[in-house]
């Protein structure tokens, strides 16, 4: 079984280094009871991902490439609105690659950084631009942001 072990943090944008070219990501979620079902288009590639319930910062994850036209149809016909639109920047730091997500659309203003680890106990160094950890806060999960966009937070 594939596992995703991920920690998520807020970002101090004033301390960010120059950013490389981003991926453009559009993703939507299909209603499911015991899993998160995500359809993602990253640039011109498409994926269907199933994620299990989170325990700590770990959950099962299964991801499969799908034809772009199928993903576009799934987004239009099956996914809840609004979609998640964001730019993703890959930033290497101290032996890890951080994923910096700058959200657009209904979640504009939200910026988070994620790091994937090989175990929950793995030690890693945080860049100076990483601030508060939000791994345990469900509001920062993309599936939550579809139903409660960042722009509506008070």
Q: Is the pLDDT of residue 127 over 70?
A: yes
Q: What is the DSSP letter of 62?
A: E
Q: Average pLDDT of the chain? A: 96
Q: Residue 52: pLDDT above 90? A: yes
Residue 64 among the catalytic residues: no
- Residue 79 clears pLDDT 80, i.e. is over it: yes
H or E segment and range at residue 72:
helix 68-78
Query: pTM of the predicted model, to two decimals?
Result: 0.93
Q: Which residue out of 29, 83, 89, 140 is catalytically annotated?
A: 29
Show me where the domains of the chain are located: 3-152
For 6-34, the pLDDT digits (tens) are 999 999 999 999 999 999 999 999 999 89
Taking Cα atoms as reference points, which of 78, 101, 81, 83 lies closest to residue 91? 101
Q: Which residue has the tokens 């950084």?
A: 113
The pLDDT assigned to 82 comes to 93
Q: What percentage of residues in the chain have a pLDDT greater than 70? A: 99
3-state class of 143 per DSSP? helix
Q: Is the pLDDT assigned to residue 1 strictly greater than 70?
A: no
CA distance 84 to 107: 7
The whole-number average pLDDT for the span 90-105 is: 98
Check: CATH 2.40.320.10 for 3-152? yes
Q: Is the pLDDT of residue 154 over 90?
A: no
**Contact predicate 66/116, CB 8 Å:** no
For 96, the token pair is 């890890």
Report how far apart, in Å, the C-alpha atoms of 124 and of each of 7, 23, 69, 74 are.
11, 24, 39, 37
């Amino acid at each position: 079984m594939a596992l995703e072990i991920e920690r998520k943090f807020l970002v101090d944008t004033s301390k960010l280094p120059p950013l490389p070219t981003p991926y453009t990501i559009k993703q939507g979620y299909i209603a499911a009871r015991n899993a998160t079902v995500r359809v993602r288009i990253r640039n011109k590639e498409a994926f269907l991902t199933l994620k299990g319930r989170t325990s700590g910062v770990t959950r099962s994850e299964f991801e499969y490439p799908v034809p772009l036209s199928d993903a576009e149809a799934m987004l239009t016909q099956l996914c809840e609105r609004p979609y998640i639109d964001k730019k993703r920047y890959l930033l290497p730091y101290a032996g890890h690659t951080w994923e910096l997500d700058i959200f657009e659309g209904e979640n504009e203003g939200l910026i988070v950084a994620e790091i994937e680890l090989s175990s929950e106990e793995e030690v890693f160094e945080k860049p100076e631009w990483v601030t508060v950890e939000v791994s345990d806060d469900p509001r920062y999960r993309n599936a939550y942001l579809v139903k409660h966009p960042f722009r509506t937070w008070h």
